[in-house]
Amino acid sequence: MAKTKKDPKVIRYAPVVYQPITETIEKNYMPYVMSVIVSRAIPEIDGLKPAHRKLLYTMYSMGLLKGERKKSATVVGATMKLNPHGDASIYETLVRLTRGNATLLHPLIDSKGSFGKQYSSEMKYAASRYTECKLDPICQELFDGIEKDAVDMVDNYDATTKEPVLLPTTFPNVLIMPNTGIAVGMASNICSFNLAEVCDGTIALLRKPNLPIEKMMELIKAPDFSGGGAILYDAEQMRQIYETGQGSVRIRARYVYDKAANCIDIVEIPYSTTIELIMAKLSTLHKEGKLKEITDFRDEIDLSGFKLTLDLRKGVDPDKLMTKLFKLTPLEDSFKCNFNILIDSVPRTMGIPEILGEWIKFRLRCLTRELAFDLQKKKDKLHLLLALGKILLDIDKAIRIIRKTEKDEDVVPNLMKGFEIDEIQANYIADIRLRNLNREYILNRISDIEGLQKEIAELEEILADEIKQKGLIISELTEIKKKYGQPRKSLIVHADTVTHYSEDDQFVNYPARFVLTKEGYFKKITFQSLRGNDEQKCKEGDEILSIIDGENKDVLIFLTDHAQMYRAKADDFDPTKASALGDYLPVKLGMDADEKPILMNIQNGYPEKEAFVFLFANGKGVRISAANYETTGNRRKLTSVFSKTSPIVAAFYEKTPMDILLVSSDNRGMILKSSLIPLKSTRTSGGVQVFTLKKGQILVSASIDLSALPEGAKGLKKLKIPATGVPMDSIK
């Protein structure tokens, strides 16, 4: 059979629909942005993010406010009914709230097992199947009133159960619990404050709504961190934080000096750093030779708590060393405050009085709802007891009505008609057991009527008077302070009383001789060690390139044949003897492979009138002002410091004009004044022709040491450039 030819496939493309970017943002992006801000990253007035609230409410519903701990895995699994974002994120949230993790001043979860530590990024928590937890007793204050309709309850994500919109916390947890969150276009960073101080500040604000900020700062003295440390108190900076909710708090580590062991034990570090960051910085400084005072450092954290130990060299002043470490390491760090809180689903950045004012409004709403709930319950009970009182007048009549009623559904209507009571009251009477239809039982019950009426009147009076409601809140806060208050963990130190780092205090200045060899070996030699022995030892085949006298506080620069400049402090090098080889600069300064120094100079400044002189193999030369090498930052390495067009022959530093001897490969030489070489403004300038060379010839050497030249060398001097060299053999 002949094969039939198939029709070619026709590719049909969907029509292109263009959507304006504004519409894309409005319909696709903005809902995501609002979800992150409102439902994830920013805490609300109860001090909790949704993830915290869902976890704590699940534990509350499981009865974990009392009783024994349960496996964390069980809690995590139950929480997924409210928070379906995966078990890992839920467990991370749980870990942060535990007593074992030490993140919170007042932990919300009582834990058993390994939960890591806030001050360590590498001390990991155990898997949820190994750890156990329950709610800490302080959580009673978070949930108090939740059973009395204190807050709204809403459906969970799949409408199978209810969860609270907020928790009716009876104290300003928003300032007690530290919180950090990054949303879209905004963030929140709230530090913790001392519970007792916050209670005092809130009570003062309840009594005097227009409380001066100075009084608030007296009551709530400063942030208080779970890790302790010393807060460097700056009154103006603290006032800015209290007024605007934004600013920065400086925190220093706290330490003790063990004289017997000659070591420093750091026992508290800033809340915003970790021991790993500190040790990494210490290691870097030690490798760079900037921590010669320390012989060893180690992590000695154990069951007794945090400890980082620094072993000191003999004679080191521990207090001076710590001022240096505060400057150079995260042992002094800052906590950047940004008190951004959701108020009625709207993010607001507020100062402390404003936050407490919003919390008071929130707490008043919760309290009035609780009081209204109690009032209704008492009114309902009174309503039933009044019906019971009517029956007391004729118990036999009630029994007779029930006995003579033929149908069950007619009992309630007949009682309503017989005693002129409503349906609720009639149902209550009908449900009383026969044995309780006696005078004694009824009298005992209706004896509560007078007390109920009095309680109802008191509740109605409180509900009508905001001052009395505030009085109840003050009583609650006073009791909470008494029950849960604890001394400050973070010490307050006034910033103007602390000692700050000064380089001049950290090392002893003394005269020294600096020696550099062509192979890159450097020596710093004290003049005391030079007495009687100034013969410099060099490696075989090596020779001295430069010798300069200076001081230990000087800054040295090293130019290399790779057109790079390295800066170092003389103090970075250990003193040595003339008989030693010294430090190998390519390793010490991290030079490139096969890179060798060609110039050393003391460079404490970069005067515009002084210059670097460069001479190249092609016979060209150039002068570059020293000011061209000054940098704004403390850069240790500078690249492209001269032209790479032709190999460098020599480099000199010119303070005043100098005579330079130039020699070519065909043994011709000349002497010229460095001032004849033009000054250029660009570091990579190739310069001008200085030495006129024959074809195939190059410049091979340049020197400012003319002491070995004979008297006839005066004929080598040239008064203008370019110039042709004179045969060196003719000089006598």
d(C-alpha 163, C-alpha 152), whole Å:
8
- The CA R_g of the chain, rounded to the nearest whole Å, is 42
What's the pTM value of the predicted model, to 2 decimals? Answer: 0.74
Residue reference for tokens 């075989």: 540
Q: Are residues 284 and 325 located together in one domain of the fold? A: yes
Report the pLDDT averaged over residues 365-370.
Answer: 97
d(C-alpha 193, C-alpha 181), whole Å:
18
Q: In terms of residue numbers, what domain contains 471?
A: 358-484
d(C-alpha 101, C-alpha 114), whole Å:
8
d(C-alpha 33, C-alpha 28), whole Å:
9
CA distance readout (Å), 336 to 74, 248, 325: 36, 4, 21
Contact 82, 156 (CB under 8 A): yes
- Which DSSP category does 15 fall into? P
C-beta neighbour count of 337 within 10 angstroms: 24
Q: What is the pLDDT of residues 139-191, one digit of tens each?
A: 999 999 999 999 999 999 999 999 999 999 999 999 999 999 888 888 999 99
Q: What is the pLDDT of residues 95-148, one digit of tens each?
A: 999 999 999 999 999 999 999 999 999 999 999 999 999 999 999 999 999 999
Question: Does 53 fall in a domain?
Answer: yes
Residue 504's pLDDT is what?
Answer: 60
> Which ranges of 622-690 would DSSP assign to H, the alpha helix?
none
Nearest to residue 612, comparing CAs of 550, 536, 534, 559?
559
d(C-alpha 244, C-alpha 234), whole Å:
15
Residue 505's pLDDT is what?
Answer: 59
Residue reference for tokens 């701990």: 69
Q: What is the pLDDT of residues 322-358, one digit of tens each?
A: 999 999 999 999 999 999 999 998 999 999 999 999 9
DSSP string covering 455-475: HHHHHHHHHT-HHHHHHHHHH
C-beta neighbour count of 69 within 10 angstroms: 17
pLDDT above 90: residue 619: yes
Q: Are residues 317 and 363 located together in one domain of the fold? A: no
Q: Are residues 478 and 518 located together in one domain of the fold? A: no
Q: Are residues 472 and 524 located together in one domain of the fold? A: no
Q: Are residues 150 and 282 located together in one domain of the fold? A: no
Q: Is 228 left (phi over 0), alpha (psi -120 to 50) or beta?
A: left
Residue 60 corresponds to which amino acid?
Answer: Y
Domain final residue pick, 484, 519, 545: 484
- Which DSSP category does 399 fall into? H
Question: Does 490 fall in a domain?
Answer: no
Q: Are residues 141 and 280 located together in one domain of the fold? A: no
Report the pLDDT averaged over residues 560-581.
Answer: 89
| Mean pLDDT for the chain overall | 91
Measured in residues, the chain has a length of 732
Q: Are residues 159 and 278 located together in one domain of the fold? A: no
Residue 160 corresponds to which amino acid?
Answer: T
pLDDT above 90: residue 261: yes
Contact 478, 203 (CB under 8 A): yes
Nearest to residue 105, comparing CAs of 197, 2, 239?
197
Nearest to residue 265, comparing CAs of 318, 303, 316?
318
Q: Are residues 322 and 367 located together in one domain of the fold? A: no
Question: Does 177 fall in a domain?
Answer: no
Domain final residue pick, 168, 193, 214: 168
Which element (helix H / strand E) includes 557? strand 555-560
Contact 136, 99 (CB under 8 A): yes
Question: Does 374 fall in a domain?
Answer: yes
Contact 37, 347 (CB under 8 A): yes
Q: Are residues 283 and 393 located together in one domain of the fold? A: no
Question: Does 34 fall in a domain?
Answer: no
Q: Is 305 left (phi over 0), alpha (psi -120 to 50) or beta?
A: left
Contact 672, 723 (CB under 8 A): yes
pLDDT above 80: residue 255: yes
Q: Are residues 554 and 615 located together in one domain of the fold? A: yes
CATH number for position 76: 3.90.199.10
Contact 581, 539 (CB under 8 A): yes
Residue reference for tokens 């440390």: 229
Expressed in percent and rounded to 5, the helix, strand and coil fractions of the chain are: 35, 25, 40
Q: What are phi and psi of 695, to 5 degrees?
A: -60, 130
CATH number for position 651: 2.120.10.90
Domains held by the chain: number: 4
Residue 273's pLDDT is what?
Answer: 95
Residue 7's pLDDT is what?
Answer: 64
According to DSSP, the residues that pair with 98 across neighbouring strands are 109
Question: Does 111 fall in a domain?
Answer: yes
CATH number for position 298: 3.30.1360.40
Question: Does 711 fall in a domain?
Answer: yes
Write the burial class of residue 132 (CB in 10 Å: 0-12 exposed, 13-18 middle, 19+ buried).
Answer: middle
Question: Does 347 fall in a domain?
Answer: no
Residue 210's pLDDT is what?
Answer: 93
Q: Are residues 597 and 726 located together in one domain of the fold? A: yes
d(C-alpha 441, C-alpha 105), whole Å:
52
Joined tokens for residue 129: 């199947």
| Strand stretches in 24-118, DSSP E | 70-71, 109-112
Q: Are residues 719 and 690 located together in one domain of the fold? A: yes
Is 130 tagged catalytic? yes
Q: Which residues contact 495 (CB under 8 A, 6 or more apart)?
A: 232, 233, 234, 250
pLDDT above 80: residue 60: yes
Residue 233 corresponds to which amino acid?
Answer: Y
- Angle formed at CA 378 by CA 376 and CA 384, multiple of 5 degrees: 105
Lowest-confidence segment of 19-28, 345-354, 402-411, 547-556 by average pLDDT: 19-28
Domain final residue pick, 453, 484, 515: 484
Residue 404's pLDDT is what?
Answer: 87
CA atoms within 13 A on the CB side of 482: 6
pLDDT band per the 50, 70, 90 thresholds, residue 503? low
Contact 704, 676 (CB under 8 A): no
SS3 69: coil
Joined tokens for residue 713: 């060398």
Selected catalytic residue, list 130, 233, 510, 566? 130
Joined tokens for residue 718: 């040239």
pLDDT band per the 50, 70, 90 thresholds, residue 498? confident
Q: What are phi and psi of 655, to 5 degrees?
A: -90, -40
Q: Which residues contact 263 (CB under 8 A, 6 or more apart)?
A: 257, 309, 310, 311, 312
